[in-house]
Amino acid sequence: MKVGGASGPLYGTLFMSLGKSLSDEVTYEQTANAFAIAIEAVKARGKSDVGQKTMLDVLFPVARVLPRRRG
């Protein structure tokens, strides 16, 4: 029920955003897009960015290798 530090709300934001972005039948492309959206939500919630020694330093490279729809 309790999580110390900021990681709980950040992981919650990540997974809640993923859940909202996915439909019942998930495709690989949809997952990649949802992951990118979730990372942006974590950036906004944590007021941080890549290179600041946060969880984003792991999440961003993963999102970069997943194909995303352009446009």
Give the domain ranges of the chain. Answer: 7-65
Q: Is residue 69 over pLDDT 60?
A: no
User: Under a CB-based contact definition with an 8 Å cutoff, are residues 60 and 50 in contact?
Assistant: yes
Sequence-distant (≥ 6) Cβ neighbours of residue 36 within 8 angstroms: 63, 66, 68
Residue with tokens 């950040």: 10
Q: Is residue 64 over pLDDT 80?
A: yes
CA torsion sign for 9, 12, 14, 16 is: negative
User: Under a CB-based contact definition with an 8 Å cutoff, are residues 56 and 39 in contact?
Assistant: yes
Token pair for 1: 């029920």
pTM of the model: 0.80
